[in-house]
Chains A and B, each alone.
Chain A
């Protein structure tokens, strides 16, 4: 495609007052734009018309708008992205609002930005959409409350669903419930379980196929074309689905580890799950002798909120014990049910249920700690409680002691301890013989999904085995595109929430198959129609891209050459940054593009004016710089910022480019990483950081100091920290001294 460049410079919002517009225009000459125009109000109708006329009359197809931030007026400068390349050069927020007007350095900065912007535009091509007829059936893994809800909602929305359930029947835990928590206002009374109705609805729905006694042998492929092999009752079958809802539910914490709380030691100590079964099968009795239950003690947080067992809270046990206390009371009007809690957690409108349970004269509640238990000859148990409300030790004689044990996600296999899991994937650390000698490596274990992904067979997990997701704002976004977790597998939740969660995940699955079939990316670059392209002939099989992709997009052939699965891709460009051979590129985002932009920076020979290139993430650091602009926060003119889709796309080549050009330092500004990561691509800023750990290698070749490169973690609202961060970095660079390549 022949590029026809039009450059449009807006002179207002202070741009014209601060900068020499003619100078800017002169700077564009080198690129021989078909048109280069200045307008005092470019975002006005007339301004936009000016551009449109040029498109019409001059055949402009590459539009560079040197005005305000790309974050504003997007709807105004909106030219069909499949036909035109539009590039915004931010002279307002990133230059004139943060630099002194009329200053030579301000002008130099603006010129650099303009030249870089033109270069970016010239190096970019419109994406070629990749539309395809893809499979839109949704696979639901797990037929509990969340799974049934996901399948039903999917079918109601007009899609087909397949449920794969490992048990012999649908319903999961809900089927084992004697009563369920109140699901509607006033949230005060227990309800009979309505799971049978849901199961029937699923079974009767022609759009839902159910496999019971089934397991998944393999899931291969990508959104829109996942090939699923299910084995059920001895036979196995392979079919194609478009996306997956992952609702594999939970298991109770292994109570045999709670011997210190009497479990296994005394017959009349049972778990809340066992009590539920008992209530369902003929009522409450003392396990020791089948005697009546006159007094029951519920011990909350049994093995929970406890770093030796489950460090987290399972959210529902307080409610469950209140519910079960009502069973005790219903079975015998003179019986007492004691609940010993750390904190009574009945959030939101469930407070009403707490109130209704409290009103029962035979339910006794206290904040307390169990100090010990003793079995009496008649099988009853004396529970010694430090009653925190009374400030006294009280002993309660109990026929039945119920441990409120917690929920463990089924992501964690039976034999593993949730508080002691290997990172990302559950598995064993094994020693492997490689060229570099023996290395310790994690061998991930197959649990449920059996994904044929190079990185591992399951969803990468966070602490305690819960799937990694872009929790808080985008909780359904796991690290496997097209696979959405819901229900208690995702985090501990009650049945009503699980039902809702299943519905939400179903929406995400539908959205995924729809966007994918239009060749569009899903969150967070929803709608992006570019795809990474691999020049495989230059690949050295270093496997960096296949290891680093946060979404497990790339598999490998036997030699280690990446195998693409474009529909798994989220377009972050981490692979592009990872590749030392520069073989990964997008039509409008490439290693060469950024390298070429870097070449356009005019590095002053003045040794007292260190020039620093900043790579910034466009989701957080770029807006933060905008905020600095809106607040007219001034910062030094020594920086040239280049925005990246994600900091994880930073290629070390660029750092070499910058420094060998004579610039004095490189700063990477991106989101926070670690446990509380803020990266929308989950691992991007962390990948950048890990890569920088290896920058020394590159810099030693250039005989330069690694300190010239630094990564700063900045949240989007921390624009107030910018001047300090930038000043400090300049000081640091000044201390190191000018780049010896200056002037070459």
Chain B
């Protein structure tokens, strides 16, 4: 075996974690994960349940985190981003910039700082639907289990209440950004995705109409650790949601927005319909779609959901959403294609099934990456550089894991080929 320089995995979501863990467990390479959030787990950490098993993402994350904890070959940096890449396959030099967390390894997650902190910030983990203090734990299942300070809101040294509250000397308000130089043999970009900005679809009312939310917000609204502790309440007045509409292809399969299909939104909405049906027995859900895409074995799930007579599926895209000022209800207009009628119906809340926009569409990463027309990482890349998961194309979780595992073998070949 040549001298192992190890693998750099950019992104600590499900794809990055999988590539890292699977590659490291072969036993002959080290892996470094660089994650920009203060925690690992990425987008899946924000999900309440996976389709079609309706199981919590943390169940699998817990195992992956345990595999990381017990494997000294895996290192990770949170709040870190790759700044520069030079060199070539087998010998990349990478500069990683780590933003200050202001909380060091002495933190025991005891929560005393939060009680002392006087400042609130919108909670981005919950898409701004609630607030946390300026010092906060991203969420209770966060790994690493360590608090963090949002320096856009923290008043800094002039306040220092948290510093006084911490018995352990874990808070350092003067922490500075740091730079880490890495030398790696291969790089995997598992940079994942962002939900497409729903406000850009002016006819769908997001941002203007309070009770129009996105599918990712629906995940948070349903999760026990979400802003409403898992109660599905509409944002305008906290009323329990009984009539909900799902608007499929909100921005996806749309040349004005994302021309491709995001592959997961149909299944996600079917799944989210079950959230409401399970939590509110006398509720009704309507799914407006163009094509119901439940490929492969997912068809079973579609059949199961379809069997619920309180879940109605209508072929016809919603193209107009208005607010009933008096009640706060949301009025949705669509053509019921099968029925040959235009319908207008009022709902307590409307969920836009917004698609996945690759991080690489809105941000350029160093390393000579090649992109396809939508900003996904292209199939062909410089030697030693690979994409994994949704960075490459829209995928569901299990396909991302499949893809990430395949990327792991490519890395192994690069760093340890000719074993």
Contact flag (A, B; Cβ within 8 A): yes
Within 8 A of A (CB), among B211-225: 223-225
> Does A420 interact with chain B (Cβ within 8 Å)?
no
Partner of B398, one of A41, A472, A522, A671: A472
Q: Please determine whether B59 and A473 come into contact, CB atoms closer than 8 angstroms.
A: yes
Q: Please determine whether A351 and B259 come into contact, CB atoms closer than 8 angstroms.
A: yes
> Does B260 interact with chain A (Cβ within 8 Å)?
yes
Q: Please determine whether B224 and A720 come into contact, CB atoms closer than 8 angstroms.
A: yes
> What residues on B are CB-neighbors of A74 within 8 Å?
69-70
> Does B413 interact with chain A (Cβ within 8 Å)?
yes
Complex-state Cα separation, A258 to B104, whole angstroms: 67
> Does B91 interact with chain A (Cβ within 8 Å)?
no
Partner of A526, one of B25, B259, B373: B25
Q: Please determine whether A14 and B110 come into contact, CB atoms closer than 8 angstroms.
A: yes
> Does A561 interact with chain B (Cβ within 8 Å)?
no
> Does A186 interact with chain B (Cβ within 8 Å)?
yes
> Does A504 interact with chain B (Cβ within 8 Å)?
yes
> Does A232 interact with chain B (Cβ within 8 Å)?
no
> Does A391 interact with chain B (Cβ within 8 Å)?
yes
Number of interface residues of B (CB under 8 A): 90
- Closest chain A residue to B137 by CB distance? A630
> Does B342 interact with chain A (Cβ within 8 Å)?
no
Complex-state Cα separation, A497 to B399, whole angstroms: 9
Q: Please determine whether A472 and B25 come into contact, CB atoms closer than 8 angstroms.
A: no
> What residues on B are CB-neighbors of A71 within 8 Å?
145
Which 5 pairs of residues, A with B, have the shortest CB-CB distance? Answer: A473-B60, A185-B372, A158-B419, A504-B405, A507-B409
Most A-side CB within 10 Å, residue of B106, B225, B299: B299
> What residues on A are CB-neighbors of B303 within 8 Å?
307, 311
Q: Please determine whether B56 and A515 come into contact, CB atoms closer than 8 angstroms.
A: no
> Does A156 interact with chain B (Cβ within 8 Å)?
yes
> What residues on B are CB-neighbors of A619 within 8 Å?
59, 62-63
Q: Which residues on B are within 8 Å of A, measured CB to CB? A: 14, 21-23, 25-28, 48, 50, 52-64, 67, 69-71, 106, 108-110, 137, 140-141, 145, 167-168, 223-225, 229-230, 253, 259-263, 291-300, 303, 315, 337-338, 340, 372-374, 376, 378-380, 393-395, 397-399, 401-403, 405-406, 408-410, 412-413, 416-419
Complex-state Cα separation, A40 to B261, whole angstroms: 55
Most B-side CB within 10 Å, residue of A348, A715, A716: A348
> What residues on A are CB-neighbors of B67 within 8 Å?
523, 526-527
- Closest chain B residue to A386 by CB distance? B338
> What residues on B are CB-neighbors of A153 within 8 Å?
406, 409-410, 413
Task: Using A13-B110, A311-B303 as known contacts, say yes or no to A343 and B372 having CB atoms under 8 A apart.
Answer: no
Task: Using A13-B110, A344-B291, A497-B399 as known contacts, say yes or no to A473 and B63 having CB atoms under 8 A apart.
Answer: yes
Q: Please determine whether A351 and B261 come into contact, CB atoms closer than 8 angstroms.
A: yes
Q: Please determine whether A346 and B261 come into contact, CB atoms closer than 8 angstroms.
A: yes
Partner of B397, one of A345, A473, A717: A473
Report the minimal beta-carbon distance from B399 to chain A, rounded to whole angstroms.
7
Complex-state Cα separation, A472 to B376, whole angstroms: 23
Q: How many Cβ-Cβ contacts under 8 Å join chain A to chain B? A: 257
> Does A275 interact with chain B (Cβ within 8 Å)?
no
Complex-state Cα separation, A447 to B406, whole angstroms: 28
Report the minimal beta-carbon distance from B386 to chain A, rounded to whole angstroms.
11
- Closest chain B residue to A81 by CB distance? B70
Report the minimal beta-carbon distance from A472 to chain B, rounded to whole angstroms.
5
> Does A593 interact with chain B (Cβ within 8 Å)?
no
Report the minimal beta-carbon distance from B260 to chain A, rounded to whole angstroms.
5
Complex-state Cα separation, A72 to B69, whole angstroms: 9
Complex-state Cα separation, A75 to B393, whole angstroms: 35
> Does A729 interact with chain B (Cβ within 8 Å)?
no
Task: Using A343-B291, A678-B53 as known contacts, say yes or no to A719 and B393 having CB atoms under 8 A apart.
Answer: no
- Closest chain B residue to A150 by CB distance? B409
Complex-state Cα separation, A313 to B295, whole angstroms: 6
> What residues on A are CB-neighbors of B23 within 8 Å?
507
Contact-size category for A: 35 or more
Partner of B58, one of A75, A391, A717: A717
Q: Mark A693-731, 1 if CB is under 8 A from B, else 0.
A: 000000000000000000000011111100000000000
Q: Please determine whether A514 and B63 come into contact, CB atoms closer than 8 angstroms.
A: no
Q: Please determine whether A184 and B379 come into contact, CB atoms closer than 8 angstroms.
A: yes
> Does A500 interact with chain B (Cβ within 8 Å)?
yes
Q: Please determine whether B406 and A43 come into contact, CB atoms closer than 8 angstroms.
A: no
Q: Please determine whether B224 and A501 come into contact, CB atoms closer than 8 angstroms.
A: no
> Does A446 interact with chain B (Cβ within 8 Å)?
no
> What residues on A are CB-neighbors of B63 within 8 Å?
473-474, 523-524, 619, 680
Q: Please determine whether B261 and A350 come into contact, CB atoms closer than 8 angstroms.
A: yes
Report the minimal beta-carbon distance from A464 to chain B, rounded to whole angstroms.
7
Within 8 A of B (CB), among A496-544: 497, 500-501, 503-508, 510-511, 514-515, 518, 522-524, 526-527
> Does A224 interact with chain B (Cβ within 8 Å)?
no
Report the minimal beta-carbon distance from B24 to chain A, rounded to whole angstroms.
9
Report the minimal beta-carbon distance from A154 to chain B, rounded to whole angstroms.
8
Task: Using A345-B293, A507-B408, A510-B26 as known contacts, say yes or no to A627 and B140 having CB atoms under 8 A apart.
Answer: yes
Report the minimal beta-carbon distance from B388 to chain A, rounded to whole angstroms.
11
Q: Please determine whether A678 and B55 come into contact, CB atoms closer than 8 angstroms.
A: yes
> Does A239 interact with chain B (Cβ within 8 Å)?
no
Q: Please determine whether A511 and B26 come into contact, CB atoms closer than 8 angstroms.
A: yes
Q: Please determine whether B409 and A510 come into contact, CB atoms closer than 8 angstroms.
A: yes
Complex-state Cα separation, A30 to B299, whole angstroms: 60
> Does A238 interact with chain B (Cβ within 8 Å)?
no
Q: Please determine whether A349 and B26 come into contact, CB atoms closer than 8 angstroms.
A: no
Given contacts A312-B297, A473-B60, 14 further A-B pairs with CB under 8 A are A12-B167, A12-B168, A347-B293, A367-B291, A367-B315, A388-B337, A472-B401, A491-B297, A503-B409, A504-B408, A507-B26, A619-B59, A680-B59, A720-B224
Task: Using A153-B409, A312-B297, A493-B296 as known contacts, say yes or no to A717 and B48 having CB atoms under 8 A apart.
Answer: yes
Q: Please determine whether B141 and A720 come into contact, CB atoms closer than 8 angstroms.
A: no
Complex-state Cα separation, A493 to B61, whole angstroms: 26
Report the minimal beta-carbon distance from A471 to chain B, rounded to whole angstroms.
6
Report the minimal beta-carbon distance from A179 to chain B, rounded to whole angstroms.
18
> What residues on B are CB-neighbors of A305 within 8 Å?
299
Task: Using A12-B110, A472-B398, A497-B399 as known contacts, say yes or no to A157 and B224 having CB atoms under 8 A apart.
Answer: no
Q: Please determine whether B261 and A348 come into contact, CB atoms closer than 8 angstroms.
A: yes
Within 8 A of B (CB), among A146-171: 153, 156-159
Report the minimal beta-carbon distance from B141 to chain A, rounded to whole angstroms.
6
Task: Using A313-B298, A345-B295 as known contacts, say yes or no to A472 and B410 having CB atoms under 8 A apart.
Answer: no
Instruction: List, sorted by A's number, 27 A–B pairs whose CB atoms are closer than 8 Å.
Output: A41-B106, A43-B108, A68-B108, A74-B69, A184-B378, A185-B378, A186-B373, A313-B298, A315-B296, A347-B293, A388-B337, A472-B401, A473-B14, A473-B57, A474-B60, A476-B402, A500-B403, A507-B409, A508-B22, A524-B63, A527-B25, A527-B67, A623-B62, A676-B55, A716-B62, A717-B48, A717-B141
Complex-state Cα separation, A348 to B262, whole angstroms: 5
Complex-state Cα separation, A43 to B144, whole angstroms: 15
Task: Using A68-B108, A388-B315, A508-B405 as known contacts, say yes or no to A472 and B294 having CB atoms under 8 A apart.
Answer: no
Partner of B337, one of A185, A348, A389: A389
> What residues on B are CB-neighbors of A454 within 8 Å?
none
Q: Please determine whether B224 and A717 come into contact, CB atoms closer than 8 angstroms.
A: yes
> Does A463 interact with chain B (Cβ within 8 Å)?
yes
Complex-state Cα separation, A508 to B54, whole angstroms: 26
- Closest chain A residue to B401 by CB distance? A475
Most A-side CB within 10 Å, residue of B59, B378, B379: B59
Report the minimal beta-carbon distance from A208 to chain B, rounded to whole angstroms.
15
Q: Please determine whether B295 and A315 come into contact, CB atoms closer than 8 angstroms.
A: yes
> What residues on B are CB-neighbors of A717 within 8 Å?
48, 56, 58-59, 141, 223-225
Complex-state Cα separation, A523 to B224, whole angstroms: 28
Complex-state Cα separation, A523 to B291, whole angstroms: 37
Q: Please determine whether A472 and B50 come into contact, CB atoms closer than 8 angstroms.
A: yes
> What residues on A are CB-neighbors of B52 within 8 Å?
676
Q: Please determine whether A620 and B299 come into contact, CB atoms closer than 8 angstroms.
A: no
Complex-state Cα separation, A678 to B57, whole angstroms: 10
Q: Please determine whether B299 and A44 come into contact, CB atoms closer than 8 angstroms.
A: no
Q: Please determine whether B54 and A676 come into contact, CB atoms closer than 8 angstroms.
A: yes
Report the minimal beta-carbon distance from B395 to chain A, rounded to whole angstroms.
7
> What residues on B are CB-neighbors of A514 within 8 Å?
25-28
